[in-house]
Amino acid sequence: MWLITFNHAGIRWFDIKGKFVIVTVIGVYLEAMALPSISAKWKRQECKGVDGIRPFLQSTRHRWCEFEKLARVTMKKRLTGIRYSEKVVEYCEEIMKASGKYTRSEAKAIDQFLMVFKNQDFPPGSSIIFAICPKGSLTIAFSKEERVPKTGKAVIKNKLLGEAVLESMIGKNGVSPATRKSLAERLSKLMNKKDPYNEANVNVATKN
């Protein structure tokens, strides 16, 4: 089951010729079982508001890696697969190289990522779904409707790339501060409940 933040997801926008243009809407789903793992540390913090959870997300990043995450990018403006993937790769390469763990394996994974998107086109309303598995795989799926596909378009077996994709969205320098803020607000409310896991299960999305 998933802890859902899509119902108040963040946006990514650009200033195009002086106009505020929303390009994508980004939603992040966290496996609800992750909450017991990170809630103990949250309750020890002095600051329990939204401002406190932003550095908290970074400090518990290693624990996030133990659980499955899902991100959904929904198009508001038409984008080609090449344009989208090249921009994502730009961020991901920077993140992976900064970690000091960028090797030939990561370079190969980047090439695979670009190939998955090469012949794709994303009209408004279509979505890209990323499932990041703790065992080290990144599953990519495409959808023309609201439902999440049961099968992915491709699976890339590289843990660092999967985490970098998520980091590029909600990390310190991620493309969507609004998504990070949304996630922070949702987690802040849950962490201050007596039983955050059961509270999360009141509003979840299933995998099908």
The ranges assigned to domains in the chain are: 2-205
Please state the separation of Cα 37 from the chain's center in Å.
Answer: 19
Q: For 176, phi and psi rounded to 5 degrees? A: -130, 85
Q: Rounded to the nearest 10 degrees, what angle do helices 81-98 and 104-117 cross at?
A: 160
The correct answer on CATH 3.50.70.10 for the domain covering 2-205 is: yes
Q: Give residue-wise pLDDT tens across range 131-140.
A: 998 888 999 9
Q: Per the structure block, which two tokens stand in for 190? A: 């849950």
DSSP code for 144: S
**pLDDT digit string (tens) for 132-188?**
988 889 999 999 877 777 788 999 999 999 989 988 887 777 777 777 777 777 776
* Residues 60 and 30 sit within 8 Å (Cβ to Cβ): no
Query: Over the stretch 29-56, which tens digit does the pLDDT of each residue have?
Result: 877 777 776 666 666 554 455 555 556 5
Q: Can you tell me the distance from the alpha carbon of 156 to that of 208, in angstroms, rounded to the nearest whole number? A: 21
Coil/strand/helix, residue 68: coil
Q: How many CB atoms sit inside 10 A of residue 39's CB?
A: 19
Q: Kindly report, residue by residue over 49-73, the tens digit of the pLDDT.
A: 555 555 655 555 555 667 788 899 9
pLDDT at position 6: 37
* Closest C-alpha among 148, 47, 112, 126 to residue 79: 126
The one-letter code for the residue type at 167 is E
pLDDT, tens digit (0-9, with 9 covering 90-100), for 81-129:
999 999 999 999 999 999 898 999 999 999 999 999 999 999 999 999 9
